[in-house]
Structure 1
Amino acid sequence: MDAIGTGAAANVSSEAAKGIFHQVKRYIRYVIFYQKIVDKFEQKHRTLIAKRTSVQQAVDVAERNGEKIKADVPDWRHRVDEVITEKEKKVKDLEVKAKTKCFFGLCPNIKSRYQLSRKAEEAAATFDELIKDCQFERVGYPDVPVPIVHPDFEAFKSREEVFDDIMESLKDATTGMIGLYGMAGVGKTSLVKEVERQLHEVKLFDSVVRAIVSRSPDIKEIQDQIAYSLGLKLEENSPVVRARRLCERLRKEKNVLIILDDLWKKLDLEEVGIPFGSRHKGCKILLTSRDQNVLSNGMDATKTFALGDLENEEAWEFFRKTAGDSFESDEQLRSTAIKVAEKCARLPLALATVARALRNKSLFVWRDALQQLQRPYLEKSSNEISAEVHSAIELSINHLSSEDLKQIFLLCSLLRRDTRIDNLLRYAHGLGLIKGVNTMKAARDRLLKMLSTLKESCLLLDSKSANEEYFDVHDLIIL
């Protein structure tokens, strides 16, 4: 037993001796090689500073490109700033003490050198860890674009009902596709932009994206517009592959609204890559078009809403606000301005275009503009005051499906306001514009069908008298 106890005690003593030896060795190392340890600290310190500068430069570039900075980047920079401030101060303070000799300058300050070496080595190790953590492949990522706020949107009283109906329909789980239609320049795009803005505020959908389709739709361009709003980059050339990728991305959105603005004909949603109906029940679509038929029959919209002209009072207020108050003090100028506004026929695009063109202009300019606006439509389209408005209307006319339909429309424009359908029938039949019919009843049915098509295209209006035997023509397109 004594031998065993003696052996155990010897082992303990041996281990203790080893521990003491390692501590003494480490102490001596810190004292003797303190300058190398401090030099390593300085080198790691310079490397970390350079890394921090490089990261800041990359962050500046990413922010200039509109990217969002990844969360771990500012966190790393914050840790670097804290560590550098803390460690740098401690090491610098000890470095001053380490250079001070003791015993009247005859011996180095061994204690301070030891402390300095330990702190410098600890700091260098911390710096090294931060340098290793700085392996950012990218500091930023493309952010989903924030929708542009349109402060110039005019909340016209006459549009509130349509606006509210659209918002309520979007909340209705049974309504998947909604359409808004109206003639060129009536304000369809402005209204859906406001819908988009408010939906972003109320968070009814996880994502709201908008794409302009236009008269000659480019599938790739439509795909790019939707993808950009979702933060998705489509680099493939194949429309089929792009459609598949876009579809996969949209299906990740629990609730998404896609606004397709300015449809002229049926758009194949599958070709674009928009999952709809049974493919994605959380996807709703809001469409705008000049033609109700495109929405109802072409796209099978669940609900469609018509957007008409402004009320007389709000049209004048909008015109006055856009043109400025320069004519308020001149009765003759004000009288001319009222007539000019009337010729814009309560159409927002016409009112805004003409008012901006005449803002702060002299009386003779207003009078000349009035003369231009009083000319027949075919002459109006060539004048500078209303060129933008009439070119938009002209597109609608040119888009009519047949030459017979265009001829009937031109005849309607010649007959002007609140014309009896029977009178139109006599003129159309006499001019041979209704072809392929043998009886007046068949001719009337054909004419009624063409008038219906023109109304769906928003080129003709129902009579203000609410009499089905009459039709009306918009002021801006009277020949």
Structure 2
Amino acid sequence: MAGEFCLAAASNAVGTMMVNYLVNPIKQSIRYSFRFHKFVQELHEQQKNLKREQTRVKEDVKEAELQIQTQVIEDYVDEWLTNAENALNDVQSLVHRVEENKRCFGLCPTWCWRYRLSKEIEKKIVYISKLVEDSHFKRIGHRAELPGLEFFTSEHILASKSSTAAFNKIMEALKDDKVNMIGVWGMGGVGKTTLVKEVGKKTKELRCFHKVIEVVVSQTSIIENIQYKIADFLDLKFEKTTKEGKAEELWLRLKKEEKVLIILDDMWNEIQMNEIGLPLNENGNGCKIILTTRRMTVCESMECQVIVPVDVLDNDEAWTLFRMKAYLDERVSRDIIETAKEVAKECKGLPVAIVTLAKALKGTKTVKGWEVARKKLERSRLMEVGNIEEEEEKNAYLCVKMSYEYLKKETTKRCFLLCALYPEDHSIDVKHLVRYAWGLELFDKADSIEEVRIQVLEAIDYLKDSCLLLKDKDAERYDP
């Protein structure tokens, strides 16, 4: 009985092995060989499905990036698109091989070739089918966190790459005992004041200094006005009446303080610290100074150990700020968004211009209204856009106007106006500028073209230091 059981079991095992190792492979071979055309047809169907899904996903990605310029597309979406592209390339390769072999063998196909290619095609069909199945994502992307956003806690501030780098550099310089004078330099409206206010706020939170004093200096930098503003922060009542007497009282008071940070905002000229009564940091006592200016020469004349430039926003940052201030949310039509982007580009990344313009246009509900604003900007008619005059006290036009009016030399003003005649974003060749200045007799006291060249180069350097000209890659070319 036991022997019969063992014999039956052995027979079953042998039968199963024969099916697995002999019958099934033969069936598969026959299937791959005789269903070859069916496999090719199914491959083409899956190719169409994948192309359709690839187009849809790309459109979803484009729409996501349009709605939020700082959208970060999820890694799995990018990976799927890469896999889909590779799979479609593989299909093209397989189709090419099918066509090539058809021509080679004609009416006498080789079964071995059909078998191998059918196996490859079936494998690719399964892979593509899985890609099509996985193409419906819950989320295409997410809003990017701008660099260093954790440092900027104010709801009105958009951290940019430039401002974050400047913030970090200032904070590092404040830790250095050898640094007592820091210059923050950039064009009017670029965000210098906002930046140093955040530095002051952060140093208070971290208790880096016992006192943080912020004083707006402005163009009319009268020493006594600065002295009174600092005294207010210290609850100091002056007993002396002269400027020198007040300086002495401030000096003695500040010497007693262990750590004091003084922020002198919007400086236009060199000021001697001892005239005000500010003892610079020495052995832990005295003051550390941060000054902001739109003129590099102020930083140099004040002998700042660290000079921190603040640049304009890049395209993504500018659009994010513009969209936020203009209240352009997801409900706004695509046509308005596209036109609004063109308007935002006209601000050239200058925060004060972006905020002013966005607020002036936030009530504009039609594409036509945005188109009118864009055309006015292209024709340099800023003051006619929206309700721009309501924002007059802080718009970009006045920032540039103030910088221009402060230019002391008439020849420098003439040179700036000559540069302003060039097309927007044009790279100005100094040689041409010199010839035009000579021909138009802008420097009427110059006796030769070489003398004009010297004056033009001098004016260019001054305008560049005043952030009214931007340096181009070529040292002899400048952008207005």
Q: TM-score range by the shorter chain?
A: 0.5 to 0.7
Q: In the alignment, is the contact (CA less than 8 A) between 1:461 and 1:472 conserved in 2?
A: yes
How far did 1:438 drift?
A: 4.5
1:380 and 2:389 matched: no
2:352 maps to which residue? 349
Alpha-carbon separation, structure 1, partners of 2:452 and 2:219: 31
1:261 and 2:268 matched: no
Alpha-carbon separation, structure 1, partners of 2:467 and 2:332: 38
2:193 maps to which residue? 189
Which structure 2 residue ranges, 5 or more long, are not aligned?
Answer: 1-151
1:424 maps to which residue? 433
Q: Report the CA distance shift for 1:439/1:278 in structure 2 as closer, same or farther (over 3 A).
A: farther
How far did 1:343 drift?
A: 1.2
Q: Report the CA distance shift for 1:369/1:232 in structure 2 as closer, same or farther (over 3 A).
A: farther
Alpha-carbon separation, structure 2, partners of 1:418 and 1:325: 34
How far did 1:450 drift?
A: 1.3
What is the Cα-based RMSD across aligned positions, in Å? 2.5
1:178 and 2:182 matched: yes
Q: Report the CA distance shift for 1:254/1:431 in structure 2 as closer, same or farther (over 3 A).
A: same
Q: In the alignment, is the contact (CA less than 8 A) between 1:251 and 1:280 conserved in 2?
A: no
Residue identity (%): 36
Q: In the alignment, is the contact (CA less than 8 A) between 1:207 and 1:255 conserved in 2?
A: yes
Q: Report the CA distance shift for 1:451/1:336 in structure 2 as closer, same or farther (over 3 A).
A: same
1:467 and 2:474 matched: yes
Report 1:259-408 matches (<5 A).
259-276=263-280, 282-297=286-301, 299-326=302-329, 328-363=331-366, 364-376=368-380, 379-381=381-383, 384-385=387-388, 387=392, 388-408=395-415
Q: Report the CA distance shift for 1:382/1:247 in structure 2 as closer, same or farther (over 3 A).
A: farther
How far did 1:329 drift?
A: 2.8
Which structure 1 residue ranges, 5 or more long, are not aligned?
Answer: 1-147, 474-479
How far did 1:306 drift?
A: 1.6
1:200 and 2:209 matched: no
How far did 1:159 drift?
A: 2.2
CA deviation profile, 1:254-294 (whole Å, cap 9, x unmatched): 12111100001112322322123679963211110110111
Alpha-carbon separation, structure 2, partners of 1:149 and 1:249: 32
How far did 1:207 drift?
A: 1.7
Alpha-carbon separation, structure 1, partners of 2:428 and 2:245: 53
Give the TM-score taking structure 1 as reference length: 0.62
Q: In the alignment, is the contact (CA less than 8 A) between 1:185 and 1:347 conserved in 2?
A: yes
Q: Report the CA distance shift for 1:276/1:436 in structure 2 as closer, same or farther (over 3 A).
A: farther
1:415 match: secondary structure: coil
How far did 1:355 drift?
A: 1.2
CA deviation profile, 1:359-387 (whole Å, cap 9, x unmatched): 243225434432332223xx535765274
Which amino acid counterpart does residue 304 of structure 2 have in structure 1?
A: A
Report 1:60-99 matches (<5 A).
none
Which amino acid counterpart does residue 215 of structure 1 have in structure 2?
A: Q
Match of 2:156 among 148, 152, 169: 152
Which amino acid counterpart does residue 455 of structure 1 have in structure 2?
A: K
How far did 1:236 drift?
A: 5.8
1:240 and 2:247 matched: no
Larger radius of gyration: 1
How far did 1:249 drift?
A: 1.7
Give the TM-score taking structure 2 as reference length: 0.62
Alpha-carbon separation, structure 1, partners of 2:230 and 2:306: 23
